[in-house]
Amino acid sequence: MSGSLQSSRGFTLIEILVVMSLLSLLALGMGSALRTTAQIGERVDSKLLEADELRVTAAFLRSVLGRMHVQRLNAPTAVGQQPYFFEGTPVSVTWVGIMPARHGVGGRSFFQLSLGQSEGQQGLLLQFLPWDSTTVRPDWSQAQTRVLVRDAVDLQLKYVSTTVNEPRWSDAWESPDALPDRVMISLRSPSGRWPDLVVPVRTTPAGLSGAGSGEAVFGGNAN
């Protein structure tokens, strides 16, 4: 009889508390693991989006910045001054180029690449206006603007000609008789620095030396 009563005895309060504590620890561990997994997933998604943004931006700049039109200024220039419509500074570059027709506004255009804001959105901006042979300086307040890289916080540009004996990158383009045939774009976003993007420049029409294939190169090699 005593054996039967002992075998039917239920759990004690202490045993129940121990089991509940173990279940709580297990649930806590699972919750922490799920949060970690979610955070990793968010970081991976962010990196994938950034990589896709980099790919799209590089392709677009390759087609626009990589094809410059040699357009003389409609104004007298001093000796040693750049006679072409091109200005390369450490933080912006301005040129005449060709907008691919697939982007809705094809044809020769004035372009300016710089860091700034458009409609409250900070980033790498491309401004463009239809080319006008009578224009001395375009009115950028009338330009269309596209944000190429959202939230970009720092931009550095460098220029080089590979036709000289010892090519060297410079922060500003000052040659009075040629355009650069490489432009390096260094960009930083809140998530970190992007790989340097080197865009070979082809000039149109022929007459100034331009480089090769027009394929963008990552890593900053001038050759």
At 208-219, the pLDDT tens digits run 333 333 344 444
pLDDT at 184: 97
State mean pLDDT over 50-76: 82
Answer whether residue 220 is part of any domain. Answer: no
Print the domain residue range for 166: 55-74+82-200
Q: Which residues, in sequence order, are bridge partners of residue 89?
A: none
pLDDT at 45: 60
Answer whether residue 27 is part of any domain. Answer: no
Higher pLDDT, 9 or 55: 55
Would you say residue 189 has pLDDT above 50? yes
In the chain, the number of structural domains is 1
Answer whether residue 99 is part of any domain. Answer: yes
Answer whether residue 67 is part of any domain. Answer: yes
State mean pLDDT over 72-82: 65
Mean pLDDT (the chain) is 79
Q: Report the percentage of the chain scoring pLDDT > 90.
A: 34
**Cα 41–Cα 42–Cα 47 angle in degrees, nearest 5:** 100
Q: How far is Cα 137 from Cα 72, in angstroms, rounded to an integer? A: 12
Answer whether residue 98 is part of any domain. Answer: yes
Higher pLDDT, 72 or 144: 144
211-214: Cβ within 8 A, 24+ apart: 211/162, 211/181, 211/182, 214/62, 214/63, 214/66, 214/67
State mean pLDDT over 195-199: 93
Answer whether residue 183 is part of any domain. Answer: yes
Determine which of 131-140, 146-155, 187-196 has the lowest per-residue pLDDT on average. 131-140
At 160-175, the pLDDT tens digits run 998 888 889 999 998 8
Q: Which residues, in sequence order, are bridge partners of residue 154?
A: 188
pTM value > 0.75 = no
Answer whether residue 101 is part of any domain. Answer: yes
Would you say residue 35 has pLDDT above 50? yes
Answer whether residue 37 is part of any domain. Answer: no
Q: Report the percentage of the chain scoring pLDDT > 70.
A: 73
State mean pLDDT over 194-206: 85
